[in-house]
């Protein structure tokens, strides 16, 4: 074997060319990742699912605090809460791959709507006494505020509970002054936390 042939053989053995040729022969067609439909599903699972859990907690607080004695309060709660599944439905119409994932998302939305409509049934039950309603709402707001330190958007629910608790205190101004003070503290902390989260969010979007 000549020196030239030996050089060629050594180059062929050491170079990555043979491996490249082998891989090209074994190459499979590339499959592009299709993200369509994923946004709606993510919003339903995380957004609607998380909202439904927090809303269920608020439903329990309002029921045991006797807030559903007022039919108008129950209707307002339901109508306000329905905004989230309506947004989820609009996003599902806009972003879906096939009828199968559309039907799956629609099913989850229907379950969420069913849970949101619970106050219309709860107000027909015997309502508990309002004797400890002030403390119940104030402590509920404090609990949601604690969740807000892990999930800052939940501070909005603490703000809502704080205002409803103060409205409940106004009907009995001489009772449960400690609960009223707690409601004010929850409101101040919730507004501060929610405002800081909005500031951080807008700063990131503007960057």
Domain boundaries defined on the chain: 37-128, 130-207
Residue range 11-59, pLDDT digits in tens: 445 454 444 444 444 444 443 434 555 788 888 889 999 999 999 999 9
Look at residues 186, 180, 62, 200 and name the one whose alpha carbon lies nearest to residue 119: 62
% pLDDT > 90, the chain: 52
Give the three-class secondary structure for 132: coil
Residues 6+ apart with CB under 8 A from 184: 162, 166
Sign of CA dihedral 26, 31, 33, 37: negative
Contact 115, 52 (CB under 8 A): yes
Contact 62, 144 (CB under 8 A): no
Residues 6+ apart with CB under 8 A from 138: 162, 165, 179, 180, 182, 183, 186
- Of residues 136 and 172, the one with the higher pLDDT is 136
Tokens 């074994």, residue located: 26
Residue range 74-100, pLDDT digits in tens: 999 999 999 999 999 999 888 777 787
Q: Identify the band that residue 173 occupies on the pLDDT scale cut at 50, 70 and 90.
A: low
Cα dist. 51→24, 57, 180 in Å? 50, 10, 26
Q: Give the integer Cα–Cα distance in Å for 111 and 118.
A: 11
Q: Identify the band that residue 2 occupies on the pLDDT scale cut at 50, 70 and 90.
A: low
Tokens 């003070």, residue located: 181
Alpha helices in 26-154 (DSSP H): 38-42, 49-64, 71-81, 83-94, 99-116, 118-122, 133-148
Kindly state the helix (H) or strand (E) to which residue 195 belongs, with its residue range.
helix 177-206
Residues 6+ apart with CB under 8 A from 189: 145, 158
């Amino acid at each position: 074997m000549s020196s030239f042939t030996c050089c060629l053989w050594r180059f062929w053995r050491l170079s990555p060319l043979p491996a490249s040729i082998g891989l090209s022969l074994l190459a499979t067609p590339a499959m592009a990742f299709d993200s369509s439909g994923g946004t709606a599903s993510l919003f339903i699972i995380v957004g609607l699912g998380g909202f439904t859990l927090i809303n269920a907690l608020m439903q329990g607080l309002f029921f045991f605090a006797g807030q559903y004695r007022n039919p108008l309060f129950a209707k307002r709660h339901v109508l306000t809460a329905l905004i989230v599944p309506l947004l989820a439905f609009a996003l599902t119409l806009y972003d879906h791959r096939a009828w199968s994932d559309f039907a799956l998302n629609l099913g989850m939305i229907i379950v969420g709507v069913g849970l949101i409509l619970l106050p219309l049934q709860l107000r027909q039950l015997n309502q508990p006494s309002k004797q400890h309603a002030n403390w119940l709402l104030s402590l509920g707001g404090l609990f949601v505020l604690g969740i807000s330190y892990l999930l800052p958007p939940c501070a909005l629910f603490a703000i809502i509970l704080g205002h409803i608790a103060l409205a409940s205190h106004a009907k009995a101004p001489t009772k449960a002054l400690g609960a009223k003070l707690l409601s004010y503290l929850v409101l101040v902390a919730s507004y501060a936390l929610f405002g800081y989260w909005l500031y951080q969010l807008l700063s990131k979007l503007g960057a």
